[in-house]
Amino acid sequence: MQTDIGAATAMHEKNVHLIRWLTYLMFMMFAMTSDSVGEIIKEVKREFDVSNTQASLMHSLFMIGIAFSGLFLGFLADKFGRKRTIILGLALFALSCYLFLVGSSFEFILGLITLSGLAVGVFKTAALALIGDISRSTKEHTGTMNGAEAFFGVGAIIGPLIVAWMVREGVDWKLLYVLAGGLCTLLILMAWKADYPVQAPPTHGHKPVSFISSLRLLKNPYAMGFSIGAFLYVAAESAIYVWMPSYLVCDAMSVSESFACYTDGPQKMLAMYAVSVFFSLRALGRFVGIWMMQRYNWALVLMLFSLAITLCFIAGLAGGKNVALYAFPLTGVFMSVIYPTFNSKGICCFAKSEHGTVAGVILFFTAAGAAAGPFIMGLVSDAFGGDAKYGFMVATGFSVVLFLGLLYNFVFNPTEKRLREIEAVEYS
């Protein structure tokens, strides 16, 4: 009997590891496309002769698709199960990627970008809910969330590097999406083969799951507090990977002269790969965050890191491009653990049977911040002659408000009691 129990336990642990790796790889796969947008925007502006505002739609429509999906389809993971929802989302994402092979107009590409955003919202909310299913405590949940976002960071490094190589070699940047589609197809097979844990049963008095469940959470202070924090953080973060490449370039039109204003070789190299450096630092910070969040007060860490982000933005604006070249990528260190922790603590304030729905609400505000932030920056930059410096003033404002909110969170810690109650009921 003990042998059977031991074998069953070992099989369960093996399956949990498989599920965790599937989640990590899903995050890495879609990051390859979503966080390459800053590099892609430069090529789109040249290829289709569009303005900053028009080019920013490559990012904004993707995020609008995620936002709509998160709010109105996030309940699917709770209603129909994690496995079915993940496979559905991955299939839609793969389809949108493969269709880049036949699209050539700017409008058609924007349509595919929107479809891929809808797909990401579907499978990501299910993946976030799945993290709750395999976690044994709120601390473990936060660690696993940092792991997932760390692999997202790895994909965010790989994607821009591939695009930079494609541009240098004269390869069409659209093939990046075809590559992502191929990886997505492999993940569909993995998701189909995996043995998912049984979902937590609904708590007593739990109402039927539908998109109304998502709308109901808009009145919940815990869901809204972390959602607004996610909005502000992502609005500031996306400023780096969307508009930093445009801010750092010189006043030259040709690709070969884009960084002529940096006088030495290392500076030119850093300017060319600044987004990859940012993502590398962010990914490294998230791997460290898996360890950090098990040992330190998460509210204190987030408050101090948000202050450091604000100071980096101010330094990059006050010191000009030569200072921004170092200060802006450095924000990756301090941005690393903020979003995964927002996501984890926000989701952990609710029963596991609601994790898909609340993940969808937070994802809605995440995507709304990622869509609105760069778009507003593009509008402001165009209003002042196209200089991205003015857009970064807006991003600095987002980071200041984020710091003030996290300072309040550290001083008053409004979620401490709620997290203890959920820990006792859901993770005991």
Structure confidence by residue, pLDDT tens digits, 411-421: 999 998 898 88
For residue 255, the 8-state DSSP code is G
Pick the range with the lowest mean pLDDT from 61-65, 97-101, 357-361, 404-408.
61-65
- Percent of the chain exceeding pLDDT 90 equals 44
The larger pLDDT score, comparing residue 242 to residue 210, is at: 242
Could you tell me if 92 and 389 are in contact, meaning their C-beta atoms sit under 8 angstroms apart? no
Round to whole Å and give the CA distance between 279 and 115.
Answer: 25
Read off the pLDDT of each residue in 220-245 and give the average, rounded to a whole number.
92
Going by pLDDT thresholds of 50, 70 and 90, the confidence category of residue 235 is: very high
Instruction: Kindly report the average pLDDT of the chain as a whole number.
Output: 87
Residue 182 has pLDDT above 90, yes or no: yes
Reduced DSSP (H G I as helix, E B as strand, rest coil) percent helix, strand, coil of the chain, to 5 = 80, 0, 20
Residue 391 has pLDDT above 70, yes or no: yes
What pLDDT does 199 receive?
61
Buried b (16+ CB within 10 A) or exposed e, 244-257: bbbbbbeeeeeeee
What pLDDT does 53 receive?
76
Taking Cα atoms as reference points, which of 163, 159, 388, 167 lies closest to residue 256?
A: 167
- Per-residue pLDDT of 320-377, as tens digits, reads 888 999 999 999 999 999 999 999 999 999 988 889 999 999 999 998 898 888 889 9
Read off the pLDDT of each residue in 184-195 and give the average, rounded to a whole number.
90
Read off the pLDDT of each residue in 171-177 and give the average, rounded to a whole number.
92
Pick the range with the lowest mean pLDDT from 53-57, 81-85, 255-259, 397-401.
255-259
Round to whole Å and give the CA distance between 47 and 106.
Answer: 9
Residue 143 has pLDDT above 80, yes or no: yes
Helices (H) and strands (E) in the chain, counts: 19, 0
What pLDDT does 425 receive?
83
- Please state whether the predicted TM-score (pTM) of the whole model is above 0.75: yes
Taking Cα atoms as reference points, which of 19, 325, 392, 319 lies closest to residue 191?
A: 19
Read off the pLDDT of each residue in 278-291 and give the average, rounded to a whole number.
88
CB count, 10 Å around CB of 110?
Answer: 18
314 contacts: CB under 8 Å, gap ≥ 6? 396
What pLDDT does 426 receive?
78
What pLDDT does 428 receive?
64
10 contacts: CB under 8 Å, gap ≥ 6? none
Going by pLDDT thresholds of 50, 70 and 90, the confidence category of residue 304 is: very high
Pick the range with the lowest mean pLDDT from 293-302, 335-344, 379-388, 404-413.
379-388
For residue 190, the number of C-alpha atoms closer than 13 Å in the C-beta half-sphere is: 18
What pLDDT does 382 receive?
86
Read off the pLDDT of each residue in 379-383 and give the average, rounded to a whole number.
89
- Token couple for 238: 């996306």
- Percent of the chain exceeding pLDDT 70 equals 91
Which amino acid, residue 399? S
DSSP secondary structure string, 323-366? HHHHHHHHHHHHHTTHHHHHHHHHHHTS-GGGHHHHHHHHHHHH
What pLDDT does 184 receive?
95
Could you tell me if 128 and 343 are in contact, meaning their C-beta atoms sit under 8 angstroms apart? yes
What pLDDT does 4 receive?
47
Dihedrals phi, psi of 188, to nearest 5 degrees? -60, -45
- Per-residue pLDDT of 22-74, as tens digits, reads 999 999 998 998 878 877 888 888 888 888 778 878 888 898 899 899 999 98
What pLDDT does 348 receive?
92
Task: Work out the end-to-end distance of the chain between its first and last CA atoms, rounded to an integer number of angstroms.
Answer: 25
- Token couple for 427: 């993770």
Taking Cα atoms as reference points, which of 366, 387, 370, 369 lies closest to residue 378?
A: 387
What pLDDT does 134 receive?
86
CB count, 10 Å around CB of 264?
Answer: 8
